[in-house]
Homo-oligomer: A and B are copies of this chain.
Amino acid sequence: EITALSLAAASEEQPLAGTSLLLTAGPTREALDPVRYLSNHSSGKMGFAIAEQAQRLGAKVTLVAGPVSLPTPAGVTRIDVESAQQMLDAVMAQVEEHQLFIGCAAVADYRPIAVADNKIKKSAESMMVEMVRNPDILATVAAHSKRPFTVGFAAETQDVAHYAMDKLKRKNLDMIAANDVSKPEQGFNADSNALTLYWDGGSQALGYSGKSDQAKQLLLAIAKRL
């Protein structure tokens, strides 16, 4: 009886036991030439918090990380990448072996069309940089024939619910976690967040809390729907 209770408690504490999670985190860097790049303000904190909490909740975690200054959570397998293309390659090489994918990285939507071999000399008063769209990692994962349960993030500065629901449907995701990065107390470099989760037919506001707590609540909400 004690054993049965303990097992029940363990199962309740580790709802992701037996689940393998593939996760992206941080920004990507898109080279303009050997010294210049385009990037964004993602700190990777939210993704690394998810990796740590998922491992505690019993999951086997593979973390594909853009350039960030964060230590690897204990027990997590980490693959470091720079560009969106490198991140896609690392994800697609791993995707069939995972049941759950969370795209938490702030992947650059565009990259400069050509990387200059040598540093561009400044000679003109103005310069046009032609950018082309990067591959869409989330949509590529969601369109895979052996797709995992696919969760995306939406960092928005306006009409958050509208853009999040649109992204959920357009990219065929199973869930999306939205946050309003125009609010200074949440988002890219903050230690806290206030995610709202959307899925087909439901939503859940997690309220304002630290990123570890947000990560755990997100993972518990996913575990119910896996």
A interface with B by C-beta (< 8 Å): 32, 34-42, 69, 106, 108-110, 113, 118-120, 122, 124-133, 155-158, 181-182, 188
Contacts and interface: CB of A to CB of B under 8 A. Distances in A.
Contact of A132 (B41, B118, B126, B132): B126
Nearest to A188: B35
Contacts of A158: 118-119
A133 B128 contact: no
B131 A130 contact: no
Nearest to A182: B34
- Counted per complex, copies of this chain come to 2
| Interface pairs A-B: 10 shortest CB-CB | A109-B122, A127-B131, A129-B129, A118-B157, A119-B157, A36-B40, A35-B40, A126-B132, A118-B158, A38-B38
A156 B158 CA distance: 42
A181 B127 contact: no
11 contacts: A34-B157, A34-B181, A35-B106, A35-B157, A35-B181, A109-B120, A109-B122, A119-B181, A122-B133, A126-B130, A129-B131
Given A126-B113, A126-B131, A37 B39 contact: yes
Which of A125, A127, A128, A158 has the most chain B CB atoms inside 10 A of its CB? A127
B110 A155 contact: no
B128 A130 contact: yes
A47 to B, nearest CB: 15
Given A36-B39, A38-B36, A181-B34, A129 B126 contact: no
B32 A37 contact: no
Given A34-B182, A39-B36, A128-B128, A122 B106 contact: no
A131 B127 CA distance: 5
Nearest to A134: B122
Nearest to A126: B132
Contacts of A39: 36-39
Contacts of A124: 133
